[in-house]
Structure 1
């Protein structure tokens, strides 16, 4: 009543409607303690309600070139179960890619003890630009691999509304919700593993551009000292291999570079210095274009990338007059599914009275 300005009768009427629809439950009113026993109660007795967190569930999907992950969450956003699947090749037929995604969804639902009929919405992130209407921008061959008709397929199979979105955009939603940027309206999240991609929030609103290409990093090929959109993991591996591999032998890789640098290996420390300088230039380019309050390095490399922050922060003033705060995401490789869950919950909240709950 205080929040809405509605009368008690109106609020109770709304609650009764939500009870009938299955969205909330009524709680018992706590009994008075001994100190107030026998005291005359003024006005009508209080009534207490709460959201039925498992009145329905949502799915959050992270669909990459090699693997897909499905997460089931209740209506409070608590993850109940996860399941993953692998694609045998990047260019498999659309039907096979959809089948792998569907199996991961059904496995996650089974592990959560929920039926497909309880799913109210699906947020799905793909490694390709997606416009505001949910259409994939298939201007490059790699992007076209994700244009498989997932929305119509899952709607036909299960009746699920699917909200298709770029993975970096969902990462931005997830980071603002449960990552290092709560409440930050001007936020950029860089997925920085094999290739760089950015999700951009401006005044709390996702930027898509005309065809969904906002946040694509192809322009970095023209930035001095950068030269490509290769990500941290890719470059660490390439540069260590070019140096002859790890000093103590073994296979080059990002984890090995960061571990060797932490142990004081000079070659690995030099690679981290190169990565810090390069990422400072990337962040500066973003800062000059968009002037965000915060830039977050996210994805599977986030845990290791904390070692780059001092170098990035120190170098930024050389490249931009508007350096943002730079952080790493605490969400790890779950960042896209967290954002996908948030996206699905936003849909449920906006359309609650049009959605029918499974009984």
Structure 2
């Protein structure tokens, strides 16, 4: 391959993208990470649940990751990918075009939030979504759960594990008889009425206001937001198969239906925490490198034949492809 061709272009510079780049850099691959600079967890003050990094601010975590990949010659490009053309020509918003042998998408997910005053301002601070990420910090406090649709009741039951004082705001979504019984059985109070705003005093959430004027005192509120893959059409543009929710379908290594394209992290699983996203990307990186090695072997054999080499490779060499990766699809 030409000297200007990257072995792998990683689209997305969060925990997943940096983890994959670290492993591929250590494997002596030429790697570029394209980072648009809008991580999902940016509003959060701390990152939780990552062994040895519990409580670290997300910005510090990313800075440490960038420093680590730099040690292995990985190129970090601050830009946004606007398209990937056949042959893996990666077009950036700034005008640069990178050529890649393989693509790894780690672009994350977009959280769809209800259009209620105060929601976006408090998002990631005291309006929360993941009890595993934030529950400990608000344990035993008066908590709320805002009904945003399917799954909200089950989410409230999770939140109940961290506090005995949980109010379920039915908002504009009706509850079934079974759901009401489940909430009552765990001591979760149901408040009916449309939520009109989050009440904030001195830069802290203090309550939830309803359309009839009532204000229910709460110090933190959980929601279960809708999720949309944050891939700017790249997945569909590459022809990758997706499920009914729009998330790309992958195999156990992160390989998509399109040759040479892998995906990992929240763009595949919106509920994966940072440590899970990083681990999935690590698995994908190993598979990508194995696929590249298989291609390297095939090309080396072709080069030998091209110069008139009459040597017949032993059976082990001819079976390398089967061992290192399925090469049924070529560039």
Asked whether the two chains share a fold, i.e. TM above 0.5, the reply is no
Larger helix proportion of the pair: 1
